Structure 1
Amino acid sequence: MGKTAKTAESEERAEMRDRVLRAGFAAFRELGFDGASTLEIATRARVSKRELYALFADKQSIVVECIKWRTRQMQVPLALPRPSDPQALLATLTKFGTAAMAGICDPDVLTVFRFAITEAQRTPEIARALDERGREPMRRMFIDLIEKAQEDGLLAPVSPAEVSAFFFSLLWGDLLLRLLMGLVKPPAKAELEQRARHAAERVMAAYAHAGRAR
């Protein structure tokens, strides 16, 4: 059976929306919020301004949706097994940390962070979108991992949020700030894995369950 007219129209609208988001992100990255006009975005996306405004209310809504779209790369695309022993937990924490850092070190994601900082006063929705769609799912996934480890007696029963804050502070140090300032280049995979393993080892040492050693 062929596609219905409604299905075809829905797919065309989705494809057009994707083109606008890609064009908008490129324009905002190159020209900034003020320099990227809706006409510029429409031209790059090969749509009319009327079609663009049928999809988005204004330029501000385009940039917020661009941020939501790009922050998918920050999310950790891992199917993490439930660790059965301390060594397995160490390996899982290391794998998580490496993937989390790799996602944020992506050049487009760093651009999103810089843009959110630049536009924080004028468009606070950008920072909220970055936090809700990027940082929070990652943090929630880590906390869920810690809660399961605590249930299984692999870590002491302390606040998972405390463990999360400790882990991510060790993971990044001042690296993210230096990346955003353009002082250093994104680390190679081997360095990311080394930083992640160091953070995982510190977490295991700091929050090891006392009764597990027996």
Structure 2
Amino acid sequence: MGQHLRTGRPTRAEAAELERRLREAALEVFSDRGFEGATMEEIARAAGISKRTLYAKYPDKRALFAKVLPWAMSTLNWDAPDLDDVADDLPSALAAIARIAIARVVDPQVARLTRVAMSEAHHFPEFAEAAHSMTWSPRLRSVVDVLERHARAGAIVVDDPELAAEQFLAMVSGFPAMLAVFGLRRDPDDEERHIRHAVTLFHAGLTPR
């Protein structure tokens, strides 16, 4: 007896798989073509679906783009550093956080998404809030936690841990992130030298006189 072919609405798992495939295809097309150069027809073809199916889910290219980019950023999880062995040594803890923060911003996929987001940010102001909550905030929290721990121990003086954490992250990862957008990256030894210099300056500014 031949295999019975199920008809009707897709299962929840099938719908989720379709959505994942669609978003990945859209991300690839937007990354290659930019927002203006991408077309719904090309995205549908890349996803292996009909234009009718695509338009049933997203009424236009803007709606699709606004959904895809924050989704893509949220899938690139922040790998919180393991600070167990260096938690009592503030410079070592800060250097560990800096290395992971830099590794994230120079990741080719992150750099590619950043380029796309920057090029369309004036059309999509909501991206700024999404980028902060999904990429900057986890890093900020890691630094804040370390600073607060050492402030409670009396090792440093910091009036505004969140402001200090933001400034530290800007010191260590701001320029590497800009280089990555242009497809450039420092030599690992040079990057380590920059990290150590930034950590020394930052730590000195917090050490009680």
Coarse TM-score class (shorter-chain normalised): 0.7 to 0.9
TM-score by length of 1: 0.78
Q: What pairs with 1:28-107 in structure 2 (closer than 5 Å)?
A: 28-72=30-74, 73=76, 75-81=78-84, 84-85=87-88, 88-107=89-108
Partner of 2:147: 146
Question: What stretches of structure 1 move > 4 A for 4+ residues in a row?
Answer: none
Partner of 2:119: 118
8 Å Cα contact 1:74-1:135 kept in structure 2: no
Q: Distance in 1 between matches of 2:87 and 2:78?
A: 24
Q: Distance in 2 between matches of 1:25 and 1:84?
A: 38
Structure 1 unaligned residues grouped into runs of 5+: 1-7
C-alpha spacing 1:140/1:77, structure 2 compared with 1 (3 Å): closer
8 Å Cα contact 1:76-1:138 kept in structure 2: no
Structure 2 unaligned residues grouped into runs of 5+: 1-9
Q: How far has the Cα of 1:151 moved from its partner?
A: 2.0
User: Any idea what the Cα deviations from partners look like across 1:65-117, whole Å, max 9, x if unmatched?
Assistant: 332233243623434338553xx222221111011111011122112222222
Q: How far has the Cα of 1:53 moved from its partner?
A: 4.1
Q: How far has the Cα of 1:41 moved from its partner?
A: 1.1
Q: Distance in 2 between matches of 1:154 and 1:56?
A: 54
C-alpha spacing 1:129/1:43, structure 2 compared with 1 (3 Å): same
C-alpha spacing 1:188/1:70, structure 2 compared with 1 (3 Å): farther
Q: How far has the Cα of 1:159 moved from its partner?
A: 0.9
* Aligned sequence identity (%): 27
